[in-house]
Structure 1
Amino acid sequence: MESALSEIEFLALSSNRVAVLRRLVRERHTRTDLAVATGASQATLGRILRDFEDRSWIRRAEGGYVATATGELVADGFLDLLEIMEIEGELRPIVRYLPTDALGVDLRRFKDATITVPSGTKPNAPVKRVLDILRTAESVRVFSHAFNEGSLTVIEERASAGEMTSRGVFSRRALDAVADDDGLRRRLDSLLDTPAAKVRVRDGEIPLAVTVADGVVHMLLRDTNGVLQASVDTDETAVRTWATETFGEYWETAEPVDRDELVH
């Protein structure tokens, strides 16, 4: 263990070592190639190459260098860890708001996700992000524990104009909240009259607020008090597959909205 940790530290303490190993795993490079690619001095590069040769991570080949089988093994593991830590760093500020038990996809799939958080000048930035996505989408699927007034407005307006098809599944709690809000109730009532839109209600829990707009999956994240904290969106294939399949499961176990439930 001690020896393995010291080797990890050896790599981790030098971005130049990581950059050189990464390039030699991909293909053969000359010393000049590596100097240009990394910006490392000749003295630094010389030490790195000697250290790698001493560990049998690289070998000389046709005037250059290339990774050995063990060099590739080390690079694969280390670069995987590096990627995981980069993703963790991105998700760290918002992970407490992610209902990970209900999120049926590896967090590594959020590598290139867009994370939007409120700020002093843009407190509604996460909602604005989903509205921007909705304004250009042609097909929308939503499953959520709450209605968002902005999203509902855009969907109702565009579906009524024939610019979008929409399907939504909401929890019974979300529907009860609409009945207590005149503005939301009018919007939903209008949406129910739109042929291009269908809305169902589900008695079971829906722990996430997810919008699938064309190929983009967007999630609004709230704290335990219901306060909006962030949003995450991505077009990654595995996340889209999970969201589409989850929507389908909720849709099949839901029923059409009874208009009488919108009036207390």
Structure 2
Amino acid sequence: MDARSVEANTEDVLVELIRRHDVFDVLADEPLEKPELAAALEVSPATAHRILTSFREKNWIERTAQGYALTPFGKALGRATATYRSTVAETHRLAPLYDVVTAAASSEPIDFAWFDDATVTTVEPHDPYRPLNRFIELLEATSSIRGIDTTSVSPTYVEDVYDRIADGLPVELVYDQAVVERLATEYTDLATDAFDRDNFTLWVREEVPFGLALFDDRVGIGGYDDETGLLEVFVDTDNEDAYAWGEQLFELYREDADRLV
């Protein structure tokens, strides 16, 4: 068999592994007879027969006294397939994070594996404020916050952050110049009062890549809708490496910013 044939055969095997992953799941528990397998998979007897024939030809299953069972090779392939599907599902779940971070140039490299167990909050048709509510939930529970932001000037965000500043929460922020100008114009009273408080420190710079929030033990990344300015995704985790990355990024932007208050 030449190299092309081997490659084509491997591709066919991969397709079948993914397509028939449920067969491995079903047979992982116990051997089954053909009718039992057909019922478990909710397929016709003819389809079950084709599956068993294909699996036996590849040495994925064997006939035993109790029914059809996975071979050691079949069990290994089943585990590998489950791992692959899980990895793809997790990568897809973190797609909003990839979109946000890779769209912005940063000298601090990120390992997306740090966010494997992250909470990913996105907007939904019936609830466009889900990401913002997640941020506020974490804001209410933290004893301090540091961050950078590029867009957040929605009334809910401004008022909640102000309330925490008024409560004495230590707050250190690096804002985009345009955001500071809008805050001073649209929320003059709140901004003036916040700027006069000792627990609030604000730096300003021309450009900020995305939203970053450092709570007590969680780091969050926020991405905004370019047209509406709404927070459309917020990803947060308590991973220590991710938190350290967030601190380095915050310090990087703070060092390159001008202190306002």
TM-score by length of 1: 0.69
Q: 1:122: Cα distance to partner? A: 3.0
1:211 is aligned to 213
Rounded to whole Å, the distance in 1 between the matches of 2:170 and 2:73 is 52
CA positional deviation for 1:155:
2.8
1:49-107 deviation line (CA, Å, top 9, x unaligned): 99768656689xxx9x898589647744x344312331344355x57952424374344
Aligned AA (1:124): Y
- Cα distance in 1 between the residues matched to 2:164 and 2:231: 27
The yes-or-no answer on 1:135 pairing with 2:145 is: no
Q: Does 1:15 align with 2:17?
A: no
| Structure 2 residue matching 1:123: 3-state secondary structure | coil
| Superimposed CA distance per residue, residues 167-226 of structure 1 (whole angstroms, 9 cap, x where no aligned partner) | 111122222222332x1x3323322332322221224x2110122222333333223335
> Of 105, 111, 114, which aligns to 2:120?
114
1:90 lines up with 2:87 in the alignment: no
Distance in 1 of aligned mates of 2:73 and 2:24: 16
Aligned twin of 2:243: 240
Structure 1: give runs of 5+ residues left out of the alignment: 24-28, 259-264
Residues paired across the two proteins, number: 240
CA contact under 8 A between 1:201 and 1:256: conserved in structure 2?
yes
Counterpart residue number, 1:187: 190
Shift in CA distance, 152/117, structure 1 to aligned 2, threshold 3 Å: same
Deviations, residues 4-35 of structure 1 (Å, cap 9, x unaligned): 111112211123234268x6xxxxx7649xx9
Distance 2:121 2:101 in 1: 16
Contact in 2 for aligned 1:57/1:67 (Cα 8 Å): yes
Q: Distance in 2 between matches of 1:139 and 1:154?
A: 14
Give the whole-Å Cα distance in 1 for the aligned partners of 2:97 and 2:167: 38
Aligned-partner residue type, residue 214 of structure 2: V
| TM alignment of 1:1-264, pairs within 5 A | 1-19=7-25, 31=31, 55=58, 72=76, 75-76=79-80, 78-91=81-94, 94=96, 98-102=100-104, 104-108=109-113, 109-110=115-116, 112-119=118-125, 121-148=126-153, 149-162=155-168, 164-181=169-186, 183=187, 185-203=188-206, 205-228=207-230, 230-237=232-239, 238-257=241-260
Using the alignment, how far apart are the partners of 2:11 and 2:222 within structure 1? 39
Question: Is the 2:21–2:82 Cα contact (8 Å) retained in structure 1?
Answer: no
